[in-house]
Amino acid sequence: MSFSQRIESLPSTSILTIRRLKNLDIKTYWDLLHYFPFRYEDHSIVSSIQHLQEGEKVTVKGTVVWAKNEFTRRGLKIQKVILADDTGKITLTWYNQPYLIRLLSPGTHLAASGEIKKYGATLTMEPKEYDVLKTIDQETIHTGRLVPIYPEKKGLSSRTLREKIFFILKDYTATDGHAMQEIFPEEIIRFNDLIEESVAYQNIHFPKSKELAKKARQRLAFDELFIIQFAARLVRQEWEKEAVGNRIQTKPYEPQLNAFMRNLPFELTNAQKKVLREILLDIFKKYPMNRFLQGDVGSGKTVVAAIVAYLAFLNRFQTLFMAPTTILAQQHFQTLTYLFKNYPVSIALQTGARKTKHLDKNHIVVGTHALLSQKFLMRNVGFVVIDEQHRFGVRQRALLKAKGINPHLLTMTATPIPRTVALTLYGELDISHLDEMPKGRIPVQTFLVPKEKRRAAYDWITKKVKQESAQVFIVCPLIEQSDHETMQSVKAAKIEYEYLSRKIFPDFKVELLHGKLKTKEKEEIMNNFARGALHILVTTSVVEVGIDIPQATIMIVEGAERFGLAQLHQLRGRIGRSTKQSYCFLFTEKEDPHIVRRLNYFSRNTNGMRIAEYDLEVRGPGEIYGTRQHGYLDLKIATFADYPMIEKTKNAVEYLLKKYKLSAFPALKKRVNEYQIEQVTRD
């Protein structure tokens, strides 16, 4: 058997189970081994029947001596089995599982786990788990041990997953690169106090003790973080071997550059000046810049990019400015047009709805990421800005190279990414952080509104719109009501729009915006909102990035508990973009103390990085950014909140790179190559 075998070859596995496994992106035995349990049920105490005590949670083993289906007057089917060992008998009871009586006929060997109860003098158990055994001494899967509990998604039960993984681990004789060969040199294993990898896989799924389960998790988390960081370092090494396509000079153009910065309609912050120095040092190197710029909403990332684009223009190079959405591309186009209104810098906007002829004649071309796959003539690009695409990877750079472009790259994001996440995922990048807001920016006041004060909040907003011509965003987590959601737990944008426009704000112009609208419809709605023709915009998180409406000073977030705090912070960044005080109201129907605590923390804090670190700590990475954004946080067993482990693996990567060649460790090389292929596929 090889771990690279397809799951279709699993014995006694139905087509439906295979389909469900594939829906979880489990295609091989190796993939299945990496579907890890999130906790364990302790069924490890095995007791003879005569020693059982009421209230104990134990496993009993014996032989079925009697089995029968019984029926209550209400039609409930009860399965009763009498199990005997050498010391006594116990009655086992199940409900509405009539097939069990065929499975547990007299003479069958059985192990069952659960809590012991007494009815009169009779010992009983309602088993939580059971194993049908060929011999009484056969090794058990679901009982008599620490039993793994898996995330039960796509209709797959923990019982099914256990059986398939047990089969793989029990008799593996792998013949390929996944043959449980040790992937690290002995000194890395010894220095970091790691158990053997083969022992780790056995004990993450079927641990012999709680201590071994903990050590297994530590070892496999180390493996995962090491491979991510090692792959990133290899990319960085390759990047630094490349010759820069277009060397941008700073010294000859310092007077023009300084004059441009002096003439900006605002003073640069110290953080912007620091980041600019880092970028200018980068673009003077022999290899292309590859820098990641983090900065809170409104911290001035676009201005930094514009200054570098102006330097590229002075060097007679072109700039590509790419955004993930048409709305954000339009916003950048407007900002750049404003900043360069007194300069001979030609700027073009290229989107699905707007095409520009003769792109090669423009100094700056703004568009979506689709620019990479389009045929356009720009042979002199020296600088590329990629906004809000966290995984601009190997494939995208290959598309640039195919166009004859090997530029300096600046990737920007307003999404607050915790330091541990950035260190792990972006090891191939140099990271800068704008940690200072421009002068005069008034922090948004945020309030968690209890249910009983919702009407009062609506009345207050009505006064603000009437008296101050304030504009309002109302953000809902879903477009249409789901069959699995109730109105008590989530406000769907379409239903909310109908309700608000008719019942709450009938005197105002209310419009609905969501991602399923056609591009032209979205543009028209946003243009109307921007010029003040609409009072209230009911929307989904499509407004999360790229909308700059200074007169929008109020935001309501419905179902606020359904958003990660970092995502809420992004949404809140759509207001507070003028000299007026802005207000954000968080509405939730939930009263869970954990939810209230999280949302209260958010209400009190405006620092995006601090909020993201808090959310990572209390919720975990998979939930911080919401389902739309967290794909690039897909860790299987490690956690970004474990900073000491990230530091350990980072140091181990440095050690291995200095002392060895990757070719000396074929199993590690294979893992790294497979990880890189996976990333290219996902890019």
Q: Is 570:581 a contact under the CB 8 Å cutoff?
A: no
Helix intervals (H) in 554-607: 565-572, 593-604
pLDDT in tens, 218-266: 999 999 999 999 988 888 888 888 877 667 899 999 999 999 999 998 8
Q: Which two tokens stand for residue 5?
A: 């075998």
Name the DSSP letter for residue 663.
Answer: G
Chain centroid to Cα 147, Å, comes to: 28
Chain centroid to Cα 194, Å, comes to: 28
Q: Which two tokens stand for residue 250?
A: 């700073």
Section 549-561 average pLDDT: 90
Listed in sequence order, the residues at least 6 apart from 181 whose beta carbon sits closer than 8 Å to its beta carbon are: 666, 667
Q: Is 390 helix (H, G, I), strand (E, B) or coil?
A: coil
- Look at 3 and 315; give whichever has higher pLDDT: 315
Q: Is 136 helix (H, G, I), strand (E, B) or coil?
A: coil
Inform me whether the pLDDT recorded for 114 exceeds 50.
yes
Residue in the block written with tokens 């993201």: 612
pLDDT band at 117 (very low <50, low <70, confident <90, very high): very high
pTM above 0.85, yes or no: no
Adjacency order of strands within the sheet including 583-587: 445-449, 583-587, 552-557, 471-475, 536-539, 510-513
Neighbours of 438 (CB within 10 A): 15
Q: Which two tokens stand for residue 664?
A: 């000396």
- Look at 562 and 378; give whichever has higher pLDDT: 562
Q: Which two tokens stand for residue 680?
A: 């290219």
Q: Which long-range contacts (CB under 8 A, 24 or more apart) does 390-393 make?
A: 390/415, 390/417, 390/425, 390/632, 391/632, 391/679, 391/682, 391/683, 392/683, 393/679, 393/680, 393/683
- Give dist(CA 559, CA 540) in Å, integer: 11
| DSSP-assigned letters across all residues of 29-60 | HHHHHTS--SEEEE---B--GGG--TT-EEEE
Q: Is 422 helix (H, G, I), strand (E, B) or coil?
A: helix
Inform me whether the pLDDT recorded for 490 exceeds 60.
no
| DSSP-assigned letters across all residues of 539-562 | E-GGGSSS---TTEEEEEETTGGG
Exposed/middle/buried for 661, CB within 10 Å: 0-12, 13-18, 19+? exposed
Q: Is 576:554 a contact under the CB 8 Å cutoff?
A: no
**CATH code for the structural domain at 45-144:** 2.40.50.140
- Give dist(CA 672, CA 232) in Å, integer: 10
Neighbours of 345 (CB within 10 A): 20
Instruction: Using the CB atoms, write b or e for 79-106: b if 16+ within 10 Å.
Output: bbbbbebeeeebbbbbeeeeebbeebee
Neighbours of 658 (CB within 10 A): 7
The whole-number pLDDT of residue 625 equals: 45
For the chain, the structural domain boundaries read 1-40+151-176, 45-144, 251-434, 445-605
Q: How many CA atoms lie within 13 A of 269 on its CB side?
A: 19
CATH pick for 1-40+151-176 out of 2.20.25, 3.30.70, 1.10.150, 3.30.479: 1.10.150
Q: Which two tokens stand for residue 184?
A: 């690290």
Residue 70 pairs in a beta bridge with 78
Q: Which two tokens stand for residue 19?
A: 């389909």
Inform me whether the pLDDT recorded for 622 exceeds 50.
no
1-40+151-176 and 251-434: identical CATH topology: no
The whole-number pLDDT of residue 175 equals: 45
Section 186-204 average pLDDT: 95
Q: What percent of the chain has pLDDT over 90?
A: 56
Q: Is 159:43 a contact under the CB 8 Å cutoff?
A: no
Section 576-583 average pLDDT: 88
pLDDT in tens, 495-519: 889 999 999 999 999 999 887 788 7
pLDDT in tens, 347-394: 999 876 667 677 778 999 998 877 776 666 677 888 999 987 655 555
**Helix, strand, coil tally for the chain in percent (to 5):** 40, 20, 40
Inform me whether the pLDDT recorded for 629 exceeds 50.
no
**CATH code for the structural domain at 445-605:** 3.40.50.300
CATH pick for 251-434 out of 3.40.50.300, 3.30.420.10, 3.30.70.890, 3.40.630.10: 3.40.50.300
Neighbours of 255 (CB within 10 A): 8
- Give dist(CA 226, CA 204) in Å, integer: 18
